[in-house]
Amino acid sequence: MKMQAIPILFEDTNLIVLNKPAGIAVHGGPNVKGITVVDFLVRHFPEVKSVGDDPVRPGIVHRLDKDTSGIMVVARNPDAFGELKSLFKERRIEKTYLAVVCGRPKSRVGIISYSIGRDAKNPTRRGAGGGRAKIRGEREAETHYRVLKTGGAYSLLEVTPKTGRTHQIRVHLKAIGYPIACDRVYGGKNVCCPEGAGRQMLHAQSLSFSFPEGRRIKFEADPPDDFILAMEKIL
């Protein structure tokens, strides 16, 4: 199988920063098909294979959903792996996303603080505390958002998750009534979806953190073409 190129935005002896395309899973698993980000890393940066505590996810310190595009940082050696894991665990990494959502939020800025857990009926899905679905293993979660543009059936949001729960942004935006466009898992089969878009309209735009301590760095990735087309639907 031909390996898709993944744009490398930055690399040094400690870090590899990628702009992950939508449609590529980060690592393998029971239901994962096709080339993954890990496959790409091991081929182009073979030293990564021995980094980390899980051979399935070498060098991986955080993940993006398969159909989410954008910035990912990878550890290139064990010391960097440990430091980055600590930064994420201690919430000292600032993550910013762009999301095209259905509808027009009433508040221009907001904070969503529903807890998140596994859906009791479908453990591959997450649910928000206080909703109708029963969830298990609830953990606190917090997402900040700011409306950048509204028009027609859609709005463009800048989203900053303060915690890192699985599917957090998708679950939280659905919980307040503004699901991400084309997200049929959380928005339902009839969720709004701009013509030409085939995946949830969520893009990891930037990561900012201190590495090493005292040196603040920021990496950014422009949205891909399908996301730009979706943004153009916001008149």
Domain boundaries, the chain: 1-90, 94-208+215-235
Q: Which CATH class is domain 1-90?
A: alpha beta
Please tell me the CATH superfamily of domain 94-208+215-235, with its number: Pseudouridine synthase (3.30.2350.10)
The 10s digit of each residue's pLDDT in 126-179 is 999 876 778 999 999 999 999 999 998 999 999 999 999 999 999 999 999 999
Looking at the annotation, which residues are catalytic? 65
Average pLDDT of the residues in 215-229 = 94
**Closest residue by Cα to residue 199 from 182, 221, 224:** 182
Rg (CA), the chain: 18
**What share of the chain has pLDDT > 70, as a percent?**
97
**Closest residue by Cα to residue 38 from 9, 64, 68, 11:** 64
- Report how far residue 175's alpha carbon sits from residue 128's, in angstroms, rounded to the nearest whole number: 7
The 10s digit of each residue's pLDDT in 41-59 is 999 999 999 999 899 999 9
What is the reported pLDDT for 66? 95
Q: Do domains 1-90 and 94-208+215-235 have the same CATH topology?
A: yes
